[in-house]
A and B are shown apart, each in its own frame.
Chain A
């Protein structure tokens, strides 16, 4: 007889990490494109940048809604401690994402009017702040949350430390890299060239961040250090840094040689490695260093009911999501005559 109370949370942890990973890479390049507005000032090219993601951004953001909902339904204990603990950065992120989200429509509808600048700025700054907050929250989870009797018991600014700030910048840098490599793939001409240029710099910035976070993380809590250095584990975790280096080599080479898809796929690979590093570090905690997955999970009857639906629906969702990406495949250029 399988012990459902043990295995269901494990299965769900895998699904949740997968949903978060999909969110991070999909909305990552959306937010990255927003940040790249800072280095691309031409209004026509900015339109092209936005148009590469206009048909898909809503679906990308939905993965974040799914992450929140799954946590609420399956790990309510984590939802109920992490959200109050990160109250301020979460609200800030949500407000930033409001500006980012409405900009898609509002910018087009106010073309030529005074307000267009406001929404362009909102898109850029909203993307940047959203990305920073996500990184800071991730860093805050890694460094741990103060919990007594199963509820958050810390102060409103506990999350704000040099480590979480570093993580915030790391995620900004990483998203911008995803955005730049996405544009290398999906655009042409001057825009593509300048993105190749920026992608190289961002890749360099990100690798510096990755090294810094990787060295810092094991120093935060003794269990993290043990996880990464004890013998049998070492066998499994050693390939992670090696793969990061290999992918980095491919990424830079791909950018130089004019590959179009390759650099984006390498950047994706980096993200999956970083997220699995995150998973390896905090496992089996949902709210480090106090609550494990099993402490925070909902009763098996909830998890089972939701699992059945997820097993049926997730493949369907992935199918039509891929379909809608395929409808809009190919390079996007400036339409002549509309500017």
Chain B
């Protein structure tokens, strides 16, 4: 087969990265928010406090929009493996395609099947059933994450396969080894926590905004807003430190299986024990050194091996055509880690303020919480860039090169669709985010505050989608 055009390859990669980068935002949002909604509804059923129902009603509107955007951007992904990476699909499909099919059958149908009941069914099914539907949707998002991460992790740390000498295809030999490949548990935990953290910071920022606004207008903040803020800050205080530990463990695992990726993330060129940690620098792939390096002695070995004289790999250990582009992931990694530290700091600060009983009155803290709104998603994207760019130049690590994975599609076609994707995504997802921000700008509704819960739930169903009223009674019946 003739080698594909370099520019076509570059565009195919850029297109994939762009579309999956947009997609991942929405599933991460859905994973975190669905779990939050399940908790809110559970608390409402348990305590009967209307504030939880108010919050549920508030966030389910956001959820319905986010989920819709996740579905349409995900649909694109499920066909893009074939359109952009047909050779990869042909060779690895017997493994990754099967994992994706399991994702569809165990997760996507579950979510889709119960989403309708969750969004529109409050006045059609009993409370218990409705809560069950919410839980099914939440569990569905988690199952979905599990399969797709297993598939992605297998591409990072492949095992349990053999290679068919005639066709070069990956043949599954041991499915348990494939699914539970070495990087999968680390990636699963790290990504799951990332989704929860991202949503916690969105919820926290929304609450902070309404507290700041109420203060400016001389009102008291509502109970709903305070509950929301408190819940979000508990998440930050507990999950952010756990995430740092999970990330550390993930890094150790990567050092074991993908040392070239670690060397590129660290901007290290020579293998050393007693390695320093580079706080800043500009890795240069041509001159094979890292310029303007700002180093802390011994810290590199300490972080990566948990001992002062641990051996840390350098990029020069690897042939030039097997080195991931260090400048990109050196920075994406540092941005992620920096944001992770900031999140943990915010969490600790919130504990301190809680102790001093000023959590709901400290304006400076509310401003910080507001500014942290995008921090989770930003860290998440930086993490993915690190992971995926760090896997280069391979699609299946060490076995199948990206340049050998690409489809035989004409450059002109990819150029046209790339433009179309950017235009449509900016328009559609830009508008969607606009709608979300506008909705979040309205405080949680208190009008139904004193209405009975059942009445409130009727209002919720019809208010969200005017016109969806069951009129089976005047069914002519045939």
Task: Known contacts A310-B105, A314-B105; decide if A156 and B97 are in contact (CB<8 Å).
Answer: no
A209 lies within 8 A of chain B by Cβ: no
Contact of B410 (CB < 8 Å), options: A95, A155, A299, A328:
A155
B119 cross-chain contacts in A, Cβ below 8 A: 54-55
- Tell whether A317 pairs with B413 under 8 Å between CB atoms, given A95-B421, A110-B435, A327-B117: no
A102 touching B432, Cβ below 8 Å: yes
Are A327 and B124 closer than 8 Å at their CB atoms?
yes
Chain B residues with CB under 8 Å of A77's CB are 90
* Chain A nearest CB, measured from B138 CB (Å): 15
Q: Which residue of B lies closest to A101 (CB)?
A: B72
Query: Which A residues are in CB contact (< 8 Å) with B86?
Result: 79-81, 83-84, 151-152
Cβ contact within 8 Å between B467 and A97: no
User: Which of B67, B90, B175, B417 touches A76 (beta carbons < 8 Å)?
Assistant: B90
Residues of B within 8 A of A51 (CB): 465, 467-468
Could you tell me the distance between the alpha carbons of A324 and B235 in the complex, rounded to whole angstroms?
Answer: 33
Establish whether residues A105 and B75, one from each chain, have CB atoms under 8 Å apart when the complex forms. Answer: no
Q: Are A156 and B469 in contact (CB under 8 A)?
A: no
Q: Mark A300-328, 1 if CB is under 8 A from B, else 0.
A: 01100110011001100100110110011
Against B, the Cβ 8 Å flags (1 = close, 0 = not) of A98-133 are 110110111011110001000000000000000000
B81 sits at the interface (CB 8 A) = yes
B165 located at the interface, meaning its Cβ lies under 8 Å from any Cβ of chain A in the complex: no
Number of interface residues of B (CB under 8 A): 89
Chain B residues with CB below 8 A from A161, complex form: none
Of the candidates B72, B76, B108, the one having the most CB atoms from chain A within 10 angstroms of its own CB is: B72
Given contacts A98-B72, A101-B68, A102-B428, contact A313 B106 (CB under 8 A): yes
* CB neighbours of B116 from chain A (8 A): 54-56, 58-59, 324, 327-328
Q: How many residues of A contact B (CB 8 A)?
A: 88
Q: Point out the residue from B98, B111, B409 that lies within 8 Å of A84, measured CB to CB.
A: B409
Is A68 located at the chain interface by the 8 A CB criterion? yes
- Interface members, chain A 122-151 (any B CB < 8 Å): 149-151
In the complex, the answer to whether B97 meets A76 with C-beta atoms within 8 Å is yes
Give the Cβ gap from B131 to chain A, nearest Cβ, in Å. 15
Q: Is the CB of B82 within 8 A of A331?
A: no
Contacts of A149 in B (CB 8 A): 1
Q: Is A226 in contact with chain B by the CB < 8 A criterion?
A: no
| Smallest Cβ-Cβ distance to A56: which chain B residue | B116
Let me know if A72 and B475 touch, CB within 8 A.
no
Which residues from chain B contact A94 at a C-beta distance below 8 Å? 75-76, 79
Name A's B-contacting residues (CB within 8 A).
44, 47-48, 51, 54-56, 58-59, 61-62, 64-66, 68-74, 76-77, 79-84, 87-88, 90-92, 94-95, 97-99, 101-102, 104-106, 108-111, 115, 149-153, 155-156, 188, 258-262, 298-299, 301-302, 305-306, 309-310, 313-314, 317, 320-321, 323-324, 327-335, 338-339
| A-B contact sample (18 more), CB < 8 A, given A95-B424, A327-B124 | A58-B115, A58-B116, A59-B109, A62-B109, A76-B90, A79-B93, A87-B413, A88-B416, A106-B435, A110-B435, A150-B90, A188-B476, A302-B97, A309-B102, A313-B106, A323-B113, A328-B121, A330-B475
